[in-house]
Amino acid sequence: MNMKKLYLVCVSLMPFMICSGMIYSIFSLYLQELGMSFTQIGIVYTVSSISGLISAPLFGRLSDRVGRKPIILLTMASFSLVFLLYSLSRSFLQILPAVLLEGGMWAAFGAVMPAFIADIARERERGEYMGIYNQAWYTGWAIGPFLGGFLADCIGFRLSYLICSFVLLIGLFLVLTFVREESEEGGRGDERGRETGIEEERIRKRRVYDVTEYPLDAHSEGGRF
């Protein structure tokens, strides 16, 4: 059942994976087209990284409190806005706020998704689940750069970014509709867990009682406990 959930997560996130591959493969070229110097391009990437440096632990901690899915939805909605802002930017100063937001959301996504995968996987299957998730990620990044270059050749950078902005809204809808985290399905599970715990406690007390009241019988049945 959880493997099915994993594949739903990967399919729902595929628009984001492809679009991020599209954007970042041509981003430096786009910055050059805006007339930025190499130093300014370096500053853009530095601003993005500093934003992520600050945001990653904050959003990781927040996801422990509010859940993984709200943070995933927030990051996807933010990236849709970021790509729209990229398409509208005309200068170094105009693009900096978008880059600041992008860096923070990229780090938030990177912090929360592995935690989400760990949440839905049993302990002995976490490596396998992460491998499948990363496989989906690399699939998106194999498709995205080719599409990004092709679209940039055909329709230019701005329209390519605008298309990505709208495609991410589709991904946002898919995540909202199909992705469920453990807390959303925890009602029955918690109830079953409580019932199991009560039953285990009852059995444990019964065993203690048997050993106390009938020590010889308990000893003679060696493998019982």
Query: Would you state the structure tokens that stand for residue 83, as one six-digit string?
Result: 């790509």
Contact between 76 and 166 (Cβ < 8 Å): no
Q: Quote the distance between the C-alpha of residue 51 and its chain's center.
A: 18
Query: Could you identify the residue written with the tokens 């990967």?
Result: 10
DSSP for 117-170, please give it: HHHHS-GGGHHHHHHHHHHHHHHHHHHHHHHHHHHHHHH-HHHHHHHHHHHHHH
Rounded (10°) angle between helices 2-33 and 126-155 = 30
DSSP for 20-71, please give it: HHHHHHHHHHHHHHTT--HHHHHHHHHHHHHHHHHHHHHHHHHHHHH-HHHH
Is 130 found in the same domain as 81? yes
The fraction of the chain above a pLDDT of 90, given in percent, is 72
Is 161 found in the same domain as 126? yes
Is 105 found in the same domain as 159? yes
Is 97 found in the same domain as 18? yes
Domain range enclosing 212: 186-224
> How confident is the model over 188-202, as pLDDT tens digits?
344 444 444 555 556
Class of residue 152 by CB neighbours under 10 A (exposed 0-12, middle 13-18, buried 19+): buried
Q: Report the CATH number that the domain containing residue 35 is assigned in CATH.
A: 1.20.1250.20
Query: Would you state the structure tokens that stand for residue 104, as one six-digit string?
Result: 């923070």
Is 19 found in the same domain as 81? yes
Is 205 found in the same domain as 155? no
Is 216 found in the same domain as 142? no
> How confident is the model over 43-92, as pLDDT tens digits?
999 999 999 999 999 999 999 999 999 999 999 999 999 999 999 999 99
The fraction of the chain above a pLDDT of 70, given in percent, is 80
Is 154 found in the same domain as 101? yes
Q: Which residues contact 97 (CB under 8 A, 6 or more apart)?
A: 85
As for how many domains the chain has, the answer is 2
Is 18 found in the same domain as 119? yes
Q: In this structure, which amino acid lies at residue 20?
A: S
Is 193 found in the same domain as 173? no
> How confident is the model over 11-44, as pLDDT tens digits?
999 999 999 999 989 999 999 999 999 999 999 9
Find the farthest-apart pair of alpha carbons in the chain and give their distance in angstroms, rounded.
90
Is 220 found in the same domain as 163? no
Q: What is the torsional sign of CA 216, 220, 224, 225?
A: positive
Is 152 found in the same domain as 210? no
pLDDT value of position 188: 38
pLDDT value of position 205: 55
- Identify which of 10, 115, 2, 9 has the alpha carbon closest to the alpha carbon of residue 56: 115
For the whole model, what pTM was predicted?
Answer: 0.77
